[in-house]
Structure 1
């Protein structure tokens, strides 16, 4: 076997593997249950495209493709950082993830407490009497 034939076989095999990886990654980006899953899939797509560019550069011998791959890597990194900051700014990663039941339950309790009328929340003081009657008795003693 000649070296050119080995490189040709290896590059064709690499393209086949990259096509399979791209299909699986696109499926994860479309189906992914949460936003972080989709962000990781998009970052993986950037890596796969860089792999395609590297294989094409190897097959053609044109080294300018390597510079394009490096530039794409930098842009992909910046996009991933921007998506991560967006996810952190939203304040929640994904309530539909398994294992998040306790945080969802605590969020429902907080919503229930917030929906109670204000008069019931402030009504009981240390003595158990409504706040308005206690304030009136202390005001009468001072006068």
Structure 2
């Protein structure tokens, strides 16, 4: 299982780097907001894999609350950007 966890962390890290590139290079604000949401999902997935690797399941509530706050923040940011672009 160590190989699986290492491979998973490597793939999540590669996806994180590509997401950071999109966040910095994104042509529109909505692209950057979406990239931030994807990055937060990747972080939550990385923490979940770390919990599985260490055989600890105590932080599941914390993981779910971070995922929920990430979703609510992304929806709020998209609404704000849409309103801001309408007024331009």
| Structure 2: 5+ residue stretches without partners | none
Indicate whether 1:75 and 2:69 are aligned: yes
Cα deviations by residue, 1:51-97 (Å, 9 ceiling, x for unpaired)? 101110001111123222211110100110110111121134xxxxx
Distance of 1:50 and 1:17 partners within structure 2? 14
Show the counterpart of 1:41: 35
In structure 1, runs of 5+ residues without a counterpart are 1-6, 93-143
TM-score by length of 1: 0.58
Q: Segments of 4+ in structure 1 off by > 3 A? A: none
Corresponding residue to 1:85 among 54, 69, 79: 79
**8 A contact 1:53–1:66 mirrored in 2:** no
Kindly indicate whether residue 6 of structure 2 is the aligned counterpart of residue 12 of structure 1.
yes
Kindly name which structure, 1 or 2, has the bigger radius of gyration based on alpha carbons: 1
2:59 aligns to what SS in structure 1?
helix
Q: Which has the higher contact order (CA 8 A, sep 6+)?
A: 2
Partner residue of 1:61 out of 44, 52, 55: 55
How large is the Cα RMSD of the aligned pairs? Answer: 1.0
User: Secondary structure at the residue paired with 1:41?
Assistant: helix
